[in-house]
Amino acid sequence: MKRPLIDRLTWIRFAGVVKALLSSEIGGRASTLIILLILLLLGINGLNVLNSYVGRDFMTAIANRDMVGFVWQAKIYVGVFAASAVVSVCARFIEERLALLWRKWQTGQLVTLYLANRTYYRTKVLGQVDNLDERMTEDVRALTTTTLSFSIMVLNGIITVVAFSKVLWSINPTLFIVAAGYALCGTLLTIILGHRLGDLDSRQSDKEADFRAALIHVRENAESIAMSHHEGRLKSRLLRQIADLAENFRQIVAVNRNLGFFSAGYNYLLQIVPALVVAPMFIRGEIEFGVITQSTIAFAQLVGAFSLIVTQFQSISSFGAVVSRLSALWEVAGFEHKPSAERSEIKVEEQAGAVTYEGLTLRSPENGHPLIKTLSLSIPFGTRVLISGADEAARVALFKASAGLWQRGEGRILLPEPDQIFFLPERPYLPQGTLRQVLVRTGAESLFSDDQLLLTLRLLEVEDVVERVGGLDVEQQDWAEILSLGEQQHLAFARLMLAAPQFAFLDRPTTTLSPDQVGRILKLLSQHSISYVTAGDDVENLDCYDAMLQLTPGGGWVWKLLHVNQDIDAVLDLSGTPPGD
């Protein structure tokens, strides 16, 4: 995927997220903390200005050998330093509290949007955003903390410019002009030397995330890798990724080296430039000795305020990369409340008592070729259907389209309400949690007794799983480490039976279970009045089906009745192959 650029739209999205924070349920707390932070920044700058005058008088007392004045100014100096320390610590505390509040809210919003409208699936299938885990953790953390730091630095810089411009101008207008010119030249040279850093930082984040993902892949597939002896290929891949991220980081180091040479010289000159301008005035007797110290403090403060780009360029580049990466996430997560660019022409609507396809055409996402052409049929409650055929891609597409997961195509699909239809994928998914939570839908835990759960497991001949996992209410993090793939599939069927929907769509159950096991489970589903549609060849259990939908290459299809059934014939007045093209 091409990395998004840091453009005007990116910053508009960023401003929208900040606005959303302030208008959210925590906006009042956030606003209060922001106001407190601004007041503390005003206090810090006020103390800095006061400190410049105290420092002037302190150094003048030393030059004049004025012991009384020296002691008095020393006491004031200590008091100002103590007050500055307290105010600075309080400002830092408020900043961190605000960053934590924002991060918690921002992450919660992203997680909610990520799980809504199957965004998590769309981003994976369409490849809209990569490394989502890092973007919702590290990037959000960097965004909230760095945004606040930059906002504080900018606001503090503005206050500093206002506060110290008058001080510096009152000492010598030339010194003020030198400070502004010095900062401007430094900023321009910094941008020239470091303009590549933002792109390199963004690329580095992607490469680091890809490397972590590869290591996670090794961990999650350790057993399969060990059995298939794929260590050599994985090693080559990982070493190549290490070389790539190291090369990119080498370029970052080179840019930082150039910036380091410049910024070091820039900061060292800060200490001598004001003295070069003001010292001749002291030598001529036009100012007191303490003014040299005051001018150095004021000059450093003013140039520092003008030179945020120079002093913070590396951090700004990293921040820009974070905003760029999060911009794509905000877009697909729906922060802009715009329809997806991959809007499907397949309409999925609700109807009771049947599954109906009306003029359904499904196309390949790679080349747009039709996988299924104008499929029109209705499957009433009580009908058991096998979807078979040599075209595996067409079967997968029809199963996913029925679940609302296929984007390419047109037509209409009518399904029962969500609680009355259940989709069981080829590879079972068992969420982290207790066995009870695996077996029962969220919110329905109290509707089933332990005896009901155990009876269902006994019917599926996997009751021994309860003892092996420590009972119905023991938390488990990884079911794949405890149960075989077949046992996991049996638990998925147990969840299906307990949910008791009208319809169940089964994706190739014979992949993980034997034909005999599948036949026994299908009979159990029939006994529990669950109509099922199985995608996949199951010729050994044809007696468990009332009809067969055969998918042929090129998008054709054939509907066959396997048993005489007047109810089916009344609704399904179809047979044979529709017009091919």
d(CA 181, CA 174): 10
Q: How confident is the model at residue 316 (pLDDT cuts 50, 70, 90)?
A: low
Lowest mean pLDDT of 16-20, 67-71, 319-323, 341-345, name the range: 341-345
DSSP secondary structure string, 15-41?
HHHHHHHHTSTTHHHHHHHHHHHHHHH
Q: What CATH number should be reported for the domain holding residue 415?
A: 3.40.50.300
Residue 290 has pLDDT above 80, yes or no: no
Q: Look at residue 170 in the predicted model and tell me its pLDDT.
A: 77
d(CA 288, CA 258): 40
Interval 148-155 mean pLDDT: 76
Please tell me the total count of domains within the chain.
2
Residue 552 lies in a domain: yes
Residue 576 lies in a domain: no
Taken as a whole, the chain contains a residue count of: 581
Q: Same domain, yes or no, for 292 and 361?
A: no
Residue 3 lies in a domain: no
Name the 3-class secondary structure at 390: coil
Instruction: Express each pLDDT in 408-427 by its tens digit.
Output: 899 999 999 988 999 998 88
**Which residues have CB under 8 Å from 488's CB, separation 6+?**
428, 430, 479, 480, 512
Instruction: Express each pLDDT in 95-107 by its tens digit.
Output: 888 888 888 887 7
Residue 335 has pLDDT above 60, yes or no: no
- Spatial contact of 304 and 369, defined as CB atoms under 8 Å apart: no
Nearest to 426 by CA among 387, 399, 453, 465: 399
Instruction: Express each pLDDT in 356-400 by its tens digit.
Output: 999 999 998 878 889 999 999 999 999 999 998 878 889 999 998
Q: Same domain, yes or no, for 217 and 360?
A: no
For residue 374, what are the β-bridge partners? none
Q: Look at residue 303 in the predicted model and tell me its pLDDT.
A: 74
What would you measure as the largest C-alpha separation in the chain, in angstroms? Answer: 117
Q: Look at residue 336 in the predicted model and tell me its pLDDT.
A: 45
Q: Same domain, yes or no, for 293 and 354?
A: no
Cα radius of gyration (the chain): 35
Domain boundary among 270, 300, 333: 333
d(CA 119, CA 130): 13
Residue 580 has pLDDT above 50, yes or no: no
Q: Same domain, yes or no, for 530 and 401?
A: yes
Q: Where are the alpha helices (DSSP H) in 23-139?
A: 27-63, 67-115, 119-126, 132-134
Q: How confident is the model at residue 459 (pLDDT cuts 50, 70, 90)?
A: very high
Q: Look at residue 1 in the predicted model and tell me its pLDDT.
A: 40
Domain boundary among 305, 333, 361: 333
Which phi and psi angles does 131 have, rounded to 5°? 55, 50
Nearest to 277 by CA among 192, 179, 205, 359: 179
Q: Same domain, yes or no, for 437 and 549?
A: yes
Q: Which two tokens stand for residue 122?
A: 């769309």
Q: Same domain, yes or no, for 293 and 359?
A: no
More confident residue, 324 or 213: 213
Which phi and psi angles does 552 have, rounded to 5°? -110, 155
Q: Same domain, yes or no, for 316 and 355?
A: no
Query: What pTM, to 2 d.p., does this model score?
Result: 0.59
**% of residues, the chain, pLDDT over 90:** 22
Interval 529-546 mean pLDDT: 89
Q: Same domain, yes or no, for 284 and 213?
A: yes
**Which residues have CB under 8 Å from 99's CB, separation 6+?**
144, 145, 148
Q: Same domain, yes or no, for 322 and 470?
A: no
Write the single-letter amino acid at 173: P
Q: Look at residue 573 in the predicted model and tell me its pLDDT.
A: 39
Residue 326 lies in a domain: yes
Burial of 211 (0-12, 13-18, 19+ CB in 10 A): middle
Q: What CATH number should be reported for the domain holding residue 66?
A: 1.20.1560.10
d(CA 361, CA 366): 15
Q: Look at residue 338 in the predicted model and tell me its pLDDT.
A: 45
Q: How confident is the model at residue 112 (pLDDT cuts 50, 70, 90)?
A: confident
Q: Same domain, yes or no, for 321 and 381?
A: no
- Spatial contact of 6 and 320, defined as CB atoms under 8 Å apart: yes
More confident residue, 279 or 198: 279
Q: Same domain, yes or no, for 317 and 395?
A: no
Interval 133-146 mean pLDDT: 68
**Which residues have CB under 8 Å from 143's CB, separation 6+?**
106, 319, 322, 323, 326
Lowest mean pLDDT of 42-46, 174-178, 516-520, 558-562, name the range: 174-178
Nearest to 327 by CA among 19, 2, 5, 1: 5
Residue 532 lies in a domain: yes
For residue 370, what are the β-bridge partners? 363
Q: Same domain, yes or no, for 368 and 474?
A: yes
Residue 340 lies in a domain: no
Q: Look at residue 503 in the predicted model and tell me its pLDDT.
A: 95
Residue 476 lies in a domain: yes
Interval 422-450 mean pLDDT: 85
More confident residue, 87 or 267: 87
The CB-based long-range contact list for 194-197 (8 Å cut-off, 24+ gap) reads: 194/255, 194/258, 194/259, 194/313, 194/314, 194/317, 196/251, 196/255, 197/252, 197/255, 197/256, 197/259, 197/313, 197/314, 197/317
Residue 536 lies in a domain: yes
Interval 551-572 mean pLDDT: 70
Instruction: Express each pLDDT in 161-200 by its tens digit.
Output: 777 777 777 777 877 788 778 777 877 887 788 778 767 8
For the chain, the average pLDDT equals: 80
Q: Look at residue 56 in the predicted model and tell me its pLDDT.
A: 79
Cα torsion through 333, 336, 340, 346, rounded to 10: 100
Domain with 160, as residue range(s), is: 8-333
The angle, 0 to 180 degrees and rounded to 10, between the axes of the packed helices 290-306 and 231-270 is 140
Domain boundary among 282, 313, 333: 333
